[in-house]
């Protein structure tokens, strides 16, 4: 139907046609293509290729699925001088992302002595679910919003939520430059005043499990990853703050006519160099910095629980890395032998800088940055090392990728005892509602092992470790 052409290992071309300015590129193994073709995400790849200023390819990762405007799992680079910036290329959950934390305890010991107590304690102190759940602490003031969006994750550390060493293990040191809280609506701030340090709903989660397999021992050793030891993952974003920022800008862009002549109005985009484009980036950066703080504060709560239950000190619970996977960032690449500043949209895609990249801290500069790929709550997650492949603007996949809608998954699991089903598979699940669990059951997702195999085969990142879950909190 799409006339795909294989151009290399796990690389398929979507040939340019009609109003497309560039070809499309799909990173996938052949067995994944059949699933990918079941929705209209490839059509969205073609639509993105029509946007002004796009450079290289309109790219889809192997976890691609249908999204708002851009596919989830989509990557697009726009010329910073002549291109556009699109809220649909970032998504509603601005800087939704993942952080992996390493625990200095063998998983067998954790499971035997602390596992259920620990996950229950974290579930008690980290608010989950839809809406305005909060920890009963003071609401964020306008001054707090100014400071946290300006400083990024450093603000939370200054407030006592973390240690200085954490910053070196966060993408972009936990701050996107260019944030301006003055362009963010009061409604967006009001939605988020009680939400810092909260998990949210949907596919957000906290997970504890075992480092099952090591693929690259030298890199794993440099990163402090040890086989059979324990890990903790936090997956969340900017909560109501980012959602409202996105909605406000979409309303504004559509009202101003930026959607005219596009194949899909959800692609609505403003020139990067326009006042509207600059204001969206400033608001997006503010939401991204909120998200860094949100994950930082949840990690502090997890460290508190680990100290209380396992008697492990804060500084011994180490952050491996924190990555964004819904973001637009300015990066410089060589185009036709000349450095060119580009705005890289990554929506459901993870940055994968390789060895030698100047932005990385000394450890990751030797190895390439950690690429964190959570799967589903019943299978596995992966840690990879980025290779800096400029074919995809140094990008990789961000997860397994849905293959069933939330509604379909809920229908198929209706009436079943989901917690017992998961417990029989060796996984203890906590959530406020069965609806959340049913939407996120493992069969709603692609096989994460095949997804990361495609990423490795395409030369985007190399597998370092495979992680298996045992205790899960769903948002």
Give the residue numbers annotated as catalytic, written as ranges: 398
Pairing state of beta strands 11-14 and 326-335? unpaired
Helix axes 142-151, 275-310, angle to 10 degrees: 90
Find tokens 């949100």 and name the residue: 294
**Closest among 469, 463, 321, 470 to 382, alpha carbons compared:** 463
Q: What beta strand segments (E) does 142-258 contain?
A: 205-214, 229-236
270 and 253 Cβ atoms separated by less than 8 Å: yes
CB 362: neighbour CB atoms within 10 A? 7
Task: Tell how many helices (H) and how many strands (E) occur in the chain.
Answer: 15, 19
Cα(218)–Cα(473) distance, rounded to whole angstroms? 32
Integer Cα distance of 369 and 171 in angstroms: 9
Q: Which residue in 334, 341, 357, 368 sits closest to 455, CA to CA?
A: 368
Nearest CA among 207, 208, 233, 235 for reference residue 106:
208
Question: Taking a C-beta distance cutoff of 8 angstroms, is the pair 366, 316 a contact?
Answer: no
How many C-beta neighbours within 10 Å does residue 338 have? Answer: 7
Report the alpha-carbon distance of residue 422 to residue 429 in Å, rounded.
7
Encode 248-274: b = buried (16+ Cβ within 10 Å), e = exposed.
bbbebbeeeebbeebbbebbbbbbbee
Place of tokens 């293509």: 33
Closest CA to 395 of 322, 447, 344: 344
CA distance 300 to 166: 11
Nearest partner of 44 among 395, 347, 276, judged by Cα: 347
Tokens for 73, please give them.
Answer: 């799992």
Coil/strand/helix, residue 231:
strand
**Rounded to 5°, angle at Cα 97 from 95 and 101:** 140
Give residues with Cβ within 8 angstroms of 257, minimum separation 6: none
Helix orientation angle between 275-310 and 239-255, rounded to the nearest 10 degrees: 170
């Amino acid at each position: 139907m799409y006339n795909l052409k294989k151009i290399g290992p796990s690389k398929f071309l979507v040939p340019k046609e009609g109003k497309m300015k560039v070809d499309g590129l799909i990173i996938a193994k052949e067995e994944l293509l059949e699933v990918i073709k079941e929705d209209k995400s490839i059509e969205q790849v073609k639509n993105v290729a029509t946007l002004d200023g796009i450079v290289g390819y309109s790219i889809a990762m192997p976890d691609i699925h249908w999204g708002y405007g851009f596919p989830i799992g989509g990557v697009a680079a726009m010329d910073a001088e002549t291109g556009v910036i699109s809220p649909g290329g970032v998504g509603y959950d601005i800087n939704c992302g993942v952080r992996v934390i390493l625990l200095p305890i063998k998983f067998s010991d954790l499971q035997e002595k602390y596992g259920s107590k620990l996950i229950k304690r974290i579930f008690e102190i980290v608010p989950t679910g839809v809406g305005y759940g909060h920890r009963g602490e003071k609401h964020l003031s306008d001054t707090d919003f100014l400071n946290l969006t300006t400083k990024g994750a450093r603000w939370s550390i200054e407030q006592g939520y973390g240690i200085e060493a954490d910053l070196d293990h966060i993408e972009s040191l936990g701050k996107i430059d260019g944030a301006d809280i003055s362009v963010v609506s009061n409604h967006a701030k009001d939605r988020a005043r009680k939400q810092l340090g909260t998990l949210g709903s949907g596919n957000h989660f906290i997970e504890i499990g075992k480092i099952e397999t090591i693929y690259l021992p030298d890199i794993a050793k440099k990163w402090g990853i040890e086989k059979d030891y324990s890990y903790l993952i936090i997956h969340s974003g900017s909560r109501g703050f980012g959602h409202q920022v996105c909605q406000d800008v979409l309303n504004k862009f559509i009202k101003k006519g930026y959607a005219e002549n596009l194949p899909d109005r959800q692609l609505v985009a403003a020139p990067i160099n326009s006042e509207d484009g600059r204001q969206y980036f400033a608001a997006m950066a503010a939401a991204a910095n909120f998200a860094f703080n949100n994950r930082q504060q949840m990690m502090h709560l997890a460290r508190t629980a680990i100290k209380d239950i396992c008697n492990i000190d804060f500084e011994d619970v180490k952050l491996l890395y924190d990555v964004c996977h819904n973001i637009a960032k300015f990066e410089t690449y060589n185009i036709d032998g000349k450095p060119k500043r580009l705005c890289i949209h990554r929506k459901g895609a993870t940055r994968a800088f390789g060895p030698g990249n100047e932005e990385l801290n000394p450890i990751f500069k030797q190895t390439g940055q950690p690429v964190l790929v959570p799967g589903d709550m019943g299978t596995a997650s992966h840690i990879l090392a980025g290779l800096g492949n400029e074919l995809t603007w140094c990008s990789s996949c961000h997860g397994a990728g849905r293959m069933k809608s939330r509604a379909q998954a809920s229908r198929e699991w209706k009436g079943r005892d989901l917690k017992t089903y998961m417990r029989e598979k060796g996984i203890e699940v906590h959530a406020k509602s069965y609806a959340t669990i049913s939407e996120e059951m493992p069969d709603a997702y692609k096989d994460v092992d095949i997804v990361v195999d495609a990423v490795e085969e395409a030369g985007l990142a190399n597998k370092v470790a495979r992680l298996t879950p045992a205790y899960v909190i769903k948002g």
